[in-house]
Amino acid sequence: MLTLIDLLPAEDGEETTKHFLQELVNILLAYISKSLKRSSKVLDFHYPHQLKEGLEGFSLELPDQPDNLEQLLVDCRYTLKYGVKTGHPRFFNQLSTGLDIIGLAGEWLTSTANTNMFTYEISPVFILMEEVVLRKMHSIIGWPEEDGDGIFCPGGTMSNLYSVLLARFHLFPAVKTHGMSAIPRLALFTSMHVHDFIIVSYTLSRHAVTLPLTQ
174-192 pLDDT per residue, tens: 999 999 899 998 888 877 7
pLDDT given at position 195: 56
Predicted confidence (pLDDT) at residue 213 exceeds the cutoff of 80: no
Report pLDDT for 170: 95
- Share the mean pLDDT of the chain: 89
Are the C-beta atoms of residues 127 and 133 closer than 8 Å to each other?
Answer: no
Is the pLDDT at 203 greater than 90? The verdict is no
> What confidence tens digit (pLDDT) does each residue in 61-112 have?
888 998 999 999 999 999 999 999 999 999 998 778 889 999 999 999 999 9
Flag whether pLDDT at 196 surpasses 70: no
User: What whole-number distance in Å separates Cα of residue 93 and Cα of residue 98?
Assistant: 10
Position 73 scores a pLDDT of 96
* Residue 37, helix vs strand vs coil: coil
Rounded CA separation 159/152 (Å): 9
Q: Which of 3.30.9.10, 3.60.10.10, 3.30.1330.100, 3.90.1150.170 would CATH assign to domain 4-113?
A: 3.90.1150.170
Beta bridge partners of 187: 214
CB atoms < 10 A from the CB of 158, how many? 14
Residue 144 reports pLDDT greater than 80:
yes
**Global pTM?**
0.83
- What is the average pLDDT across 125-133? 93
* Contact status, residue 89 vs residue 38, Cβ threshold 8 Å: yes
Output the pLDDT for position 96.
80
What pLDDT, on a 0 to 100 scale, did the predictor assign at position 67? 92
Over residues 45-72, the mean pLDDT reads: 89
C-alpha distance across the termini of the chain, in Å? 58
- What was the pLDDT predicted at 204? 76
pLDDT tens digits, 5-22:
999 999 999 999 999 999
Cα 209 to chain centroid distance, Å, stands at 24
CA 23 to CA 20: how far, in whole Å? 5
Q: Where are the domains of the chain?
A: 4-113, 116-151, 156-210
140 C-beta neighbours (distance < 10 Å), count: 8
Per-residue pLDDT band for 36 (boundaries 50, 70, 90) equals very high
Share of the chain above pLDDT 90, in %: 59
Q: Which residue has the higher pLDDT, 209 or 129?
A: 129
